[in-house]
Structure 1
Amino acid sequence: MGETYAEERSGEAVSDEGLLTDERVKLVGLAVSLAFTAVIVGFIALVLLEYVNYDLLISVAPRFVVAFARVLAVVLVSSVFAVTLGVLVGLGRVSRTGVTHSIATAYVQFFRGTPLLFQLFIIYLGIPSLWPPGGFPISRGWELAPPVLVVDWTFITAVVALTLNHAAYVGEAVKGGINAVPSGQMEAARSLGMSYVDSMREIILPQAWRNALAAIGNDQVILVKDTSLLTVIAFPEIITVFREINSNQFDAWTPIVLVAVTYLAITLPLMRLVQYLENRAEWGTGG
């Protein structure tokens, strides 16, 4: 009536010949990866050999070093403020007080729901317009380390906008980290006589920080890249320097190389730092 077991196995073997096995998937993935890498490396080599003016690169490199220092100052100040404010926003998001929860939720929805560029314009153009013409009190800057660091309205706008925007994302990461802590942790702490504030500070937040660390670290990397938007408010950052050189020299690829190097000089160490902190927190190891 039916095929023997050997005949069934033989049919399966024949049918498997037309299917992708694990080994074939690995080989296809390897081939695609090598081909992609070869294309990227070849393109970079072509640009470096044929389209980069190394005399110009050397002459404009100091301008990118100054822009690097400016961006680094903005990133350091904004990151500290964004993480600090973000923790408070995250606590507000899990607060049992209705008013606090509503304010924190509205804050997150606004700053996550509108573009950072829009928020920059609100601060940079909108706030000075609240004063009569010429009456805005921040009319000049303070040269802390000229010409690298001048604290003027563009610098203040950059720090405030990046802080407010990224605090919303950090707050959501903190909220998720707190929610990931088993509820029994809080109940156990309260049963031992600890107050709600002490329980959050001593028991919940350390665990929530570990849970949220990867998301917060990734957001700080995004913050670095978001500084490229500061060119629209005439802040002399990396992209602004690129645009000036490209306009004057009609050479795109030479400053592009320096743009890539400058951003990677910030983001790569930052990503390494995040990885180090994750390892210290034994992220994902379970022990």
Structure 2
Amino acid sequence: MFLQNALDFLPILLKGAVVTVQVTAGSFLLSSVIGLLLALMMVSKVRAISLIAIGVVNVIRGLPIIVQLFYIYFVLPDFGIQLTAFQAGVIGLGIAYSAYQAENFRAGIQAIHQGQIEAAESLGMRGAMVMRRVVLPQAFRIALPPYGNTLVMMLKDSSLVSTITVAEMTRAGQLIASSTFENMTVYTLVALLYLALSLPLGYALRRLEARIGKRGKA
């Protein structure tokens, strides 16, 4: 019975898994862009810019992700901003994780020795060029482990977008379970599918870290 039910439910859950991957990829890209921008603002020598970025990061980190999702999906329409559930999920998860990405990038940037920046400036590089050619490549290598962990965490937390009706894997499981009452079968499959996504991803990230680490030592 378990096997037959699993075979019946799997195609629907796999469709949800595709949406899960799409939400995770979109949110990760958005969080990386916003996080990098916030990190650059946080390390700015202009105190006002730095304080604004720190304040934004603290506010985002202080709000539960589910509250941010609800606000974007249910409250923004009151201001004339209509988003689909998928769009709201990607934007909400991306903004929520941008604060953590900002801290990852900030730590990487601040780990670069000041002497390297001064050496680059002595060669005629200035401002954005120093950041782009000297600081950010090294900062990315330093930030890669927590950066990769953030991706795995986002994959799992993408299940939160089910609360705003995004048809990802958890939502698909909820719908199947509510109509068939086969809770054990459904949620066992959901758990196994999450593991099937997250374990290879974690392995690939560790291999990438090792490869980049070797290049950095070469």
TM-score (norm 1): 0.72
Confirm whether residue 154 of structure 1 aligns to residue 85 of structure 2. yes
Bigger relative CO (Cα 8 Å, ≥ 6 apart): 2
Structure 1's consecutive aligned runs of 4 or more residues displaced over 3 angstroms after TM superposition are 283-287
Aligned to 2:19: 70
Q: Indicate the larger mover: 61-70 or 227-236.
A: 227-236
Q: 1:103 to 1:178 in 2, by over 3 A?
A: same
In structure 2, which of residues 50, 55, 58 is the aligned counterpart of residue 109 of structure 1?
Answer: 58
Confirm whether residue 99 of structure 1 aligns to residue 48 of structure 2. yes
| Structure with a larger share of its residues in helix | 2
% identical equivalent positions: 33
Aligned to 2:68: 119
1:176-199 per-residue CA deviation (whole Å, 9 max, x = no partner) reads 011111111111111221102111
1:124-161 per-residue CA deviation (whole Å, 9 max, x = no partner) reads 11101224xxxx6x4xxxxxxxxxxxxx6100101101
In structure 2, which of residues 134, 137, 141 is the aligned counterpart of residue 203 of structure 1?
Answer: 134
Aligned length: 218
Alpha-carbon distance in 2 for matches of 1:286, 1:113: 38
Aligned to 1:267: 198
Preserved CA contact (<8 Å) 2:173 2:186: yes
Shift of 1:172: 0.5
Aligned to 1:36: none
Preserved CA contact (<8 Å) 1:210 1:283: no
Alpha-carbon distance in 2 for matches of 1:273, 1:83: 19
Alpha-carbon distance in 2 for matches of 1:214, 1:230: 25
Gaps of 5+ in 1: 1-51, 139-151
Amino acid across the alignment from 2:187:
I
Pairwise CA RMSD of aligned residues? 1.8
Amino acid across the alignment from 2:42:
R
Q: 1:189 to 1:219 in 2, by over 3 A?
A: same
Gaps of 5+ in 2: none
Look up the SS of the partner of 1:95 in the other structure. Answer: coil
Q: Indicate the larger mover: 100-109 or 172-181.
A: 100-109
Q: Indicate the larger mover: 274-283 or 70-79.
A: 274-283
In structure 2, which of residues 73, 78, 92 is the aligned counterpart of residue 129 of structure 1?
Answer: 78
